[in-house]
Amino acid sequence: MNLLFDDRQSDIEITNDIIEIVKKSISEVLKEENLDDNVQVSISFVGDEEIQELNRDFRGVDSSTDVLSFPMDDEFKIEETILGDVIINTKRVVEQAKEFGHSNTRELSYLTVHSILHLLGYDHMEEEDKTVMRAKEKSIMKSLEIYR
């Protein structure tokens, strides 16, 4: 697995432990999907303003969000080794962890799992798709043994 990390924020110190939980989370998604780990993913840690700009520029939604996923190609061809880019808003990691009563590590892991599923073609726009995606997330988080 080839992961490219870019830290452009000041909300959380990106330690080796954080890098390892992101790697472990991605590995668990790939395992759940019966995919090998011959993939490349770019993970950027950004602040609130930057993710709002990206959300506005690429999705036409002028508001902040917790995570954005940009698949490498619109066809989600899994045989390609480059899955895409994940942009994580670290301010939201801290806020949502506090709101949901769990650790920053758990929130970061969940957002990583969520975004990698998006890179693999899962979505939650329709209720049926949302049910499938949430079940996958729950199963993966259980496998990771990272609980609330």
Q: In 3-state terms, what secondary structure has residue 11?
A: coil
Per-residue tokens: 107: 């929130």
Helices and strands (H and E) in the chain: how many:
5, 4
118 has binding-site annotation: yes
102 is in an annotated binding site: no
Strand-by-strand arrangement of the 67-71 sheet:
2-8, 40-46, 82-89, 67-71
Separation between Cα atoms, residue 94 and residue 142, nearest integer Å: 21
> Does 114 appear as a known binding residue?
yes
Vertex 107 angle, CA 90 and 126, to 5°: 100
C-alpha to C-alpha distance for 69 and 71, rounded to whole angstroms = 6
The DSSP bridge pattern shows strands 82-89 and 67-71 to be: antiparallel
Q: Which residues define the annotated binding site for Zn(2+)?
A: 114, 118, 124
